[in-house]
Amino acid sequence: MPDEPADAIVVLTGEGGRLRLAIALLEHGMGQRLFITGVNPATTKNELRTLLDGGPAYDCCADLDFNASNTIENARETAHWSALYGYDSLVVVTGTYHMPRALLEFSAQMPQLRLVPYPVTPEQGNDPFSRRFLRLNSEYAKYLASRVRLYMTRPAVPS
């Protein structure tokens, strides 16, 4: 569990039981609402509830985003959602390997918000080392690309 609650919780869809963990955080009062970003448009809230064994907290306080298909869009959609509710802080739930880039993109979209990382270690299972190595290298390349993009698009400082 995070050390302290935030106004809300956002979870980026993916592996490693992230969604179940995010629902558990909501049920334990670590946020007032839950935003699940990057949900497949063919999935309904009821289907997801059944799949994840969501309870009353899920029914009342979980919002689904069907628009985002990448981390930049996850951040953009989350920024709109958090502004709608006037939140000042978010618990961010995603994979350990994805957290640095997610925080980078979220901070760029919501610099005024306090972001509380809650990384989830994906199950290794029968995942061979070579696959994990490729995933980490790919994620690192994407992180560097995000850093460069954000640096190149930052507002000019008046001289």
Say which CATH number the domain at 58 has: 3.40.50
Q: What is the mean pLDDT of the chain?
A: 91
Confidence of residue 124 (pLDDT cuts 50, 70, 90): low
How many angstroms separate the CA atoms of 106 and 89, rounded? 12
Query: pTM of the entire structure?
Result: 0.89
Residue at 1 is within a domain: no
| pLDDT of residue 126 exceeding 90 | no
Query: Which domain range does residue 73 map to?
Result: 8-152
- Picking from 28-42, 51-65, 80-94, which range would have the lowest pLDDT averaged per residue? 51-65
Strands 89-95 and 62-65: unpaired
Residue at 59 is within a domain: yes
Residue at 2 is within a domain: no
Q: Percent of the chain scored above 70 by pLDDT?
A: 96
H helix runs in 86-156, sequence order: 99-109, 129-152
Cα–Cα nearest to 26, from 112, 97, 93, 125: 93
How many angstroms separate the CA atoms of 135 and 23, rounded? 26
How many domains are there within the chain?
1
Mean pLDDT computed over 23-35: 95
HSE-up of 29 (CA within 13 Å, CB side)? 1
Residue 21 region by backbone torsions, left for phi larger than 0, else alpha for psi between -120 and 50, else beta: alpha
Q: Is 83 helix (H, G, I), strand (E, B) or coil?
A: helix
Mean pLDDT computed over 140-159: 84
- Count of residues in the chain: 159
Q: Please, what is the end-to-end C-alpha distance for the chain in angstroms? A: 45
The pLDDT tens digits for 69-122 are 999 999 999 999 999 999 999 999 999 999 999 999 999 999 999 999 999 987
How many angstroms separate the CA atoms of 97 and 80, rounded? 25
Residue at 3 is within a domain: no
Cα–Cα nearest to 5, from 90, 84, 98: 90
Residue type, 97: Y
